[in-house]
Chain A
Amino acid sequence: MIFFFYLFAALAICGGLGVIAYKNPVTSAFSMIVSFLGLAALFIQLDAYLVGILQILVYAGAIMVLFIFIIMLLDIKEEEEKTFSAGRIFSASIAGIGFLALVTLVLVRSGVGHKEALPEVAGLGGAGKSDTHHIGELLFSHYWFPIQIVGVLLLVATVGVVVLSRKQLR
């Protein structure tokens, strides 16, 4: 159990590092897919099967295909600079390491979720219902209004994208 956690966590983090380290945007995008696959495996390890599959279908599938499509459509070459400037790398590492130190400080001082192992979920799978069933039930009963709003948002986004990407903007 813990071995797979470290495996997939390393996959997600190495993919993330690849996104910012590779100069070629296409390579960055493929590292991003690796990172998302690792994250989806972590979701499935947390018994969130629907969300893990959604992560693969929507993020690693649809969204990254869109990114790669646009990168190839615009024919973006590697960034002009041969290396990233030292000042930028320095300030970015300060920000990243600072944030991580802050998270570590908060987690150590508060001790949230420090000891307890994964709680048993007897109601999931087996004799019980699947998590898709539970999430769907919640979506269409308690969260009926937000899901309508999200539907309208998707419609607006679709129309907006069509308007934005027409040949003559004005």
Chain B
Amino acid sequence: MFSLDTTLTLQHFLYVSGALFAIGLAGVMVRRNLIVIFMCLELMLSAANLTLVAFSRYRTEGDLPDYDGQVLLFFIITVAAAEVAVGLAIIVALFRSRETTDVSQITELKH
């Protein structure tokens, strides 16, 4: 699996991406602060970004990387910025009415 010789292969990047995604997933499950959970979601998004760039670089077209992957990443970053703005506004509104960002105390929709 993780070869230690000197060629830098696509798999190296895919493992790092998988590890980052796993960390984000564990963080979403273990943390209770809404803002930290949101940051872990961003981490998972970035892990997916790394996969996109790695595939775009290793799949060449002519003598250039395949830029479709990087264009998709451009869109992902834009949408993530919009998503963070809206999400944080929702968290602020929630904090105004509840005085907490602890997910274990926000259970109205559970019952």
Contact = CB atoms under 8 A, between A and B. Distances in A.
A59 B42 contact: yes
17 contacts: A2-B8, A16-B20, A16-B27, A19-B39, A43-B53, A54-B77, A63-B80, A63-B81, A73-B92, A74-B95, A79-B31, A88-B30, A95-B22, A135-B67, A139-B74, A154-B78, A160-B89
Contact of A16 (B24, B36, B74): B24
Nearest to A157: B82
A32 B43 contact: yes
Interface residues on A, range: 35 or more
Interface of B: 1, 6-16, 18-27, 29-33, 35-36, 38-40, 42-43, 46, 49-50, 53-54, 56-58, 60, 62-65, 67-68, 70-71, 73-75, 77-86, 88-93, 95, 97, 101-102
A121 B84 CA distance: 35
Contacts of B78: 150, 153-154
Interface in A116-170: 116-124, 128, 131, 134-135, 138-139, 143, 146-147, 150, 153-154, 156-158, 160-161, 164-165, 169
A37 to B, nearest CB: 11
